[in-house]
Chains A and B, each alone.
Chain A
Amino acid sequence: METTELTVNGKRHELEADSRVTLLDALRNHLGLTGTKKGCDHGQCGACTVIVEGRRINSCLTLACMHDGDEITTIEGLGEPGNLSDLQAAFVAHDGFQCGYCTPGQICSATAMIEEAKAGWPSFVSDDLAGPDALSDEEISERMSGNLCRCAAYPNIVNAIRQVAGGKS
Chain B
Amino acid sequence: MKPFTYAKANDRADATSQAADDATFIAGGTNLLDLTKLEVMAPDRLVDINRLDLAEISETDEGGLRIGALVSNSDCAAHVRVRQVYPVLSRAILAGASGQLRNKATTGGNLCQRTRCYYFYDTAMPCNKREPGSGCQALQGFNRIHAILGASEACIATYPGDMAVAMTALDAAVEIESAAGEVRLIPVRDFHRLPGDHPEKDNILEAGDLITAVILPPPVTGRQIYRKVRDRASYAFALCSMAAVVEMDGDRIASAALAFGGLAHKPWRDEAVEALLVGEKPSAALFGRAADQLLAEARGYGSNDFKIALTRRVLIAVLTEATQEGAAA
Nearest Cβ on chain A to B42's Cβ, whole angstroms:
12
Among the interface residues A2, A18, A130, A145, which one has the most CB atoms of the partner chain B within 10 A? A145
Contact digits for B47-75, partner A, Cβ 8 Å, 1 yes 0 no? 01010000000000000000000000010
Of all chain B residues, the one with the shortest Cβ separation from A145 is B234
Assembly CA distance A41 to B36 (angstroms): 12
In the complex, the answer to whether A62 meets B94 with C-beta atoms within 8 Å is no
Residues of chain B within 8 A of A119, CB atoms compared: 78
In the complex, the answer to whether B234 meets A142 with C-beta atoms within 8 Å is yes
In the complex, the answer to whether A109 meets B100 with C-beta atoms within 8 Å is yes
In the complex, the answer to whether B37 meets A41 with C-beta atoms within 8 Å is yes
Assembly CA distance A130 to B80 (angstroms): 8
Given contacts A66-B29, A66-B48, A130-B83, contact A57 B5 (CB under 8 A): no
Contact of B99 among A62, A63, A66, A109 (CB under 8 A): A109
Give the interface size bracket for B toward A.
35 or more
In the complex, the answer to whether B34 meets A42 with C-beta atoms within 8 Å is yes
Nearest Cβ on chain A to B101's Cβ, whole angstroms:
6
Binds B, one of A5-13, A77-85, A121-129: A121-129
In the complex, the answer to whether A66 meets B4 with C-beta atoms within 8 Å is no
Contact digits for A50-66, partner B, Cβ 8 Å, 1 yes 0 no? 00000111100111011
Given contacts A65-B6, A124-B234, A129-B87, contact A146 B100 (CB under 8 A): yes
Give the interface size bracket for A toward B.
35 or more
In the complex, the answer to whether B104 meets A124 with C-beta atoms within 8 Å is no
Contact digits for B92-121, partner A, Cβ 8 Å, 1 yes 0 no? 001101111101100000000000000000
In the complex, the answer to whether A122 meets B78 with C-beta atoms within 8 Å is yes
Contact digits for B1-44, partner A, Cβ 8 Å, 1 yes 0 no? 10111100000000000000000001011100110010000000
In the complex, the answer to whether B29 meets A116 with C-beta atoms within 8 Å is no
Contact of B33 among A46, A61, A113, A116 (CB under 8 A): A61
Residues of chain A within 8 A of B34, CB atoms compared: 42-43, 61
Contact digits for B79-93, partner A, Cβ 8 Å, 1 yes 0 no? 000011001001100
Residues of chain A within 8 A of B136, CB atoms compared: none
In the complex, the answer to whether B30 meets A43 with C-beta atoms within 8 Å is yes
Residues of chain B within 8 A of A109, CB atoms compared: 99-100
Contact digits for B248-278, partner A, Cβ 8 Å, 1 yes 0 no? 0000000000000000000000000000000
Given contacts A19-B6, A63-B29, contact A121 B74 (CB under 8 A): yes
In the complex, the answer to whether A121 meets B78 with C-beta atoms within 8 Å is yes
Contact of B83 among A2, A41, A122, A123 (CB under 8 A): A122
B315 within 8 A of partner (CB): no
Given contacts A56-B100, A142-B234, contact A61 B77 (CB under 8 A): no
Among the interface residues A58, A109, A113, which one has the most CB atoms of the partner chain B within 10 A? A58
Contact of B3 among A20, A61, A120 (CB under 8 A): A20
Assembly CA distance A25 to B19 (angstroms): 28
Residues of chain B within 8 A of A146, CB atoms compared: 97-101, 235
In the complex, the answer to whether B78 meets A66 with C-beta atoms within 8 Å is no
Assembly CA distance A124 to B98 (angstroms): 10
Of all chain A residues, the one with the shortest Cβ separation from B72 is A55
Nearest Cβ on chain B to A59's Cβ, whole angstroms:
9
Assembly CA distance A147 to B29 (angstroms): 19
Residues of chain B within 8 A of A122, CB atoms compared: 77-78, 83, 90, 94
In the complex, the answer to whether A2 meets B101 with C-beta atoms within 8 Å is no
In the complex, the answer to whether A49 meets B100 with C-beta atoms within 8 Å is yes
Residues of A14-62 at the interface with B, using a CB-CB cut-off of 8 Å, are: 18-20, 22, 41-43, 46, 49, 55-58, 61-62
Of all chain B residues, the one with the shortest Cβ separation from A22 is B33
Assembly CA distance A75 to B95 (angstroms): 28
Nearest Cβ on chain B to A69's Cβ, whole angstroms:
10
In the complex, the answer to whether B104 meets A62 with C-beta atoms within 8 Å is yes
Of all chain A residues, the one with the shortest Cβ separation from B50 is A66
A162 within 8 A of partner (CB): no
B245 within 8 A of partner (CB): no
Of all chain B residues, the one with the shortest Cβ separation from A23 is B29
4 new A-B contacts, CB < 8 A, other than A57-B103, A145-B233, are A20-B3, A58-B30, A121-B77, A122-B90
A-B contact pairs, 28 of them (CB 8 A): A19-B46, A20-B1, A20-B3, A43-B100, A43-B101, A57-B104, A58-B30, A58-B101, A58-B104, A61-B29, A61-B101, A62-B28, A63-B6, A63-B33, A109-B99, A109-B100, A121-B78, A122-B77, A122-B90, A124-B91, A129-B91, A130-B83, A141-B234, A143-B99, A145-B98, A145-B99, A146-B99, A146-B235
